Each structure stands twice: as structure tokens, then as C-alpha cells.
Amino acid sequence: MLQNEGAVEFYSDIIKISNHKIEKGCQIFDAEIRGKLYKNIKLNKIGRAHLLNYTLALAGVLDVCGDIKNIEVSEPLPYRMELVNDSTIIDTSHNGASFNNFLQSIKSMGWNDIVLYITILEGKELSDIADVFAEYKDIINRIEFFEFESGKKSNAEGLYELVKNCVPSLYHKDISEIILDKERKKAFSGSFYSIPQIMGLLPHIRLSL
């Protein structure tokens, strides 16, 4: 039985990915699955986690159906590595593993010197997330941590305290204090519950629903 372990390099005995590229908000790649090559697969999401999950699911479908033609995935998954314009990504990473996939995806796109706008809900394992930010500090200009109002309590300050000595960081007691960087590429992440307030900072952007 195949198992999705998320952080593995990949299931090289079952799935091999080649000719991978990201363009116009899509991943395009070839996949050899159990020895059979499928070329120019188009996946209309840009996250590494989408690539892992989709190709694993595809391998399972092929086990059942035997073959598939004209492979394309176009159904959007809102707020999962959503490229909302040429310089802004919104994601809902919330733990160390998902933040690792988030930042690895951004790095694979060739983005660097980025500004991250990050929040996190209380009760999350902050040290794991802080370790991920330290690992990817070479592509980060700075991180701006922010609290937000919702039915859940955020703890951005706790994460800020762990990160501030290894990655340039700012802390905002409320998302309304943020002044968006207009020069650099930027990404928002940390909680699904913060999306409505993030959209208040990006009034001209419409996300997939």
C-alpha cells in the first residue's frame, strides 16, 4: 500500500518526475509511474505538496483503471499555495511540515528576497516552524509576524520570539499595522482563519472559491 509521508524525496521505485517546470501558475512535468511514461502533465497548482499528493493519487488511480489519457487537473483548492498575482502568494501552512513544503515550493519557483507575512494559531508546535524559517533564510528578506482577530487565538508573538535572532523579523500586534512591501515578492501564511483579514490588505484580489 502506498503511504503519503509528505517529507520524502519521492517514491522513486513507483514514481519518477522529470522535466518539471512552473509557469503561469501551473506545474508541468513528465511522470513515469510503474514504468509507464506520462508526458506534459499539467497541474494547476504550484505547491510541492500538490505535486506529491497528486502524483501519489494518480498512481493509485492507475492501479485501478490501468491507464489514463489527457491528464490535467484544473479544480482549484482555495488558499493552498494560491498565486494571486505575479508577486503575491497566499497559503495556509500551519505546522513545520507544511511550512517546509510552502517554502520549498517558493524556492523552486526562483523567488528570493521575499517578504513573508506570517501568523499562527495558539497551540501549534512553534519550534518546528522556527527551524524551517532558519533553513530557508537565504531566500527571505524579512518576516513580518502579525496577530489577527477571529474565533481562535493567535500566537504570532511566540513564533516571532523564536525566529527574530536568525531571520530579520518584525512583530505586529494586529494585521492592520502591516504596510505591504511594494518592491518585493511576498507570501502570506499561517492560518486559514486569517484569510478574511488578509483579503482586507489585498482589496483588488479575488481568490478561487
Question: What are 65-124's pLDDT values in tens digits?
Answer: 566 554 544 444 444 667 777 888 888 888 898 899 889 888 888 899 999 999 998 888
Domain assignment present for residue 7? The answer is no
**Rounded to whole angstroms, how far apart are CA atoms 183 and 180?**
9
Cα→Cα distances 185→39, 87, 113, Å: 31, 5, 8
Q: Where are the alpha helices (DSSP H) in the chain?
A: 48-65, 96-108, 126-135, 156-163, 195-201
Domain ends where: 54, 73, 92?
73
Regarding predicted confidence, which is higher, 4 or 16?
16
Contact 171, 141 (CB under 8 A): no
On whether both 176 and 128 belong to a single domain, the answer is yes
Q: Based on the number of CB atoms within 10 Å of its own CB, is 27 exposed (0-12), middle (13-18) or buried (19 or more)? A: buried
Report the range out of 36-50, 155-169, 172-186 with the highest average pLDDT: 155-169
What pTM was computed for the model?
A: 0.65
What is the maximum span of the chain, computed from C-alpha positions, in angstroms? 54
For position 145, what pLDDT does the model report?
96
Cα→Cα distances 109→81, 89, 90, 158, 171, Å: 12, 12, 15, 29, 27
Q: Which three cell numbers stand for residue 65?
A: 483503471
On whether both 143 and 125 belong to a single domain, the answer is yes
On whether both 66 and 87 belong to a single domain, the answer is no
Query: What is the per-residue pLDDT across 19-58, written as a single tens digit (0 to 9) for each?
Result: 888 887 788 888 888 778 888 888 877 777 778 777 777 7
On whether both 130 and 95 belong to a single domain, the answer is yes
Residue with cell 502533465: 41
Note down the domain range covering 133.
Answer: 82-201
